[in-house]
Amino acid sequence: MPSLENLRKQAKQILRWHRERYYPVAAQIRALPRYRHLTDPEVFAHSFRLSDAQELVARSSGFENWRALKVGVETMNRKEQVAAARPTITAAEPQLFVTDIGASLKFFTQKLGFTVAFEYGRPPFYAQVIRDGARLNLRHVDEPIVEARLSEREGLLSASMTVATASEIKQLFLEFQSVNGLVFHQTLKKAPWGTRNFIVKDPDGNLLLFSGPIE
């Protein structure tokens, strides 16, 4: 909806057209019940004030009168301001706990096609790998946070990554399937909730889900 200021200008323009006897505006003015029965000359001969023009603008915008229009516009503006002020989360970066940052970096770059965004510390205790829109943070720990058998038995995922199309998830699975030594916790299959996915296990037992739509 236009701003209240623009709506006021519209009303003033209609009033000016009435005073100038701009005939196309007569049809618009007849949208007001009290002008409905008048001919074009009668519309221009009839008294027509700014309040009448504002009522006409309000009715054309779906409101009963100018007051209702003002309340509606102000309410919408408040909602837009709240929405504009609300922070937007632009990305999520899962954190994987690993016992050897160097080994994990080799795994992700050499087997899964990621690149190293950064590594921190000497020796490194924190790093990030990226592939397309996926960013995974690697955090060194001396011992596994979750017991490996529990993670595998319960299918406790450490990260989920998605692709846009059914053909891409097939292509990605075939790419990973050709990698020597890559361990799959689950090969490509359809999930009951309407996706096709597979799960890869990293050297620390972290389960990494790759998911895409079903054709």
Q: Please state which CATH number belongs to domain 95-213.
A: 3.10.180.10
Q: Where in the chain is the domain with CATH 3.10.180.10?
A: 95-213
Q: How confident is the model at residue 144 (pLDDT cuts 50, 70, 90)?
A: confident
Whole-model pTM: value is 0.62
Alpha helices in the chain (DSSP H): 4-19, 24-29, 40-45, 50-60, 66-85, 101-106, 148-154, 166-177
pLDDT of 1: 58
Rounded-to-10 torsion of CA 126, 130, 133, 137: -20
The least confident of 1-5, 89-93, 202-206 is 1-5
